[in-house]
Amino acid sequence: MEEKFIRDIFYYKNYYPDFFTTLKPEVQRKFNWTLKLIATINRVPIKFFKHLKGTTGIYEIRVEVGSDIYRVFSFFDKGQLVVLVNGFQKKSQKTPKNEIELAEKLKKQYFHSPALHLADVCARNVHRGIS
């Protein structure tokens, strides 16, 4: 049975793919699994996908492999379109403020260039074809 995608997931600029390519294969597989989960189920557990308090609609995608924890920030556009931006390996309990500020800045750039942003993400759907 074919899975039904309820969300599209794209990345803005090259922050996500640049981060993704630095990861070990097992971490990449876990990110792919997590993104597919976000794309296909209605209520994603907050363990994997949650709104960051104190932000303007920034969401955190969380992946844990062994004792290592990784994060990718994202936001919504047009309802069910999830846009991925920066990622990092979390090394402490507190989320680095500079990473949150970068995500907020990228979100502003994305929405303040509407003619550009759709063209910039149109061919970058990251979850189709993930097995």
pTM of the model: 0.86
Q: Kindly give the interhelix angle for 114-121 and 97-112, rounded to the nearest 10 degrees.
A: 110
| Residue 119: pLDDT over 70 | no
**Residue 42, domain extent:** 8-121
Q: What is the CATH number of the domain that holds 78?
A: 3.30.2310.20
d(CA 100, CA 78): 22
Mean pLDDT of the chain: 87
Q: In 46-121, which residue ranges form alpha helices assigned H by DSSP?
A: 97-112, 114-121
In a domain, 130, yes or no: no
In a domain, 17, yes or no: yes
Beta bridge partners of 73: 60
Q: What pLDDT does 49 receive?
A: 98
Q: What is the pLDDT of residues 38-68, one digit of tens each?
A: 999 999 999 999 999 999 999 999 999 999 9
Q: What is the pLDDT of residues 76-99, one digit of tens each?
A: 998 888 999 999 998 877 889 999
In a domain, 63, yes or no: yes
In the chain the beta strands, taken as DSSP E runs, fall at 8-11, 49-51, 59-65, 68-77, 81-90
| Residue 130: pLDDT over 70 | no
In a domain, 129, yes or no: no
Q: What pLDDT does 131 receive?
A: 43
Domain count, the chain: 1
In a domain, 126, yes or no: no
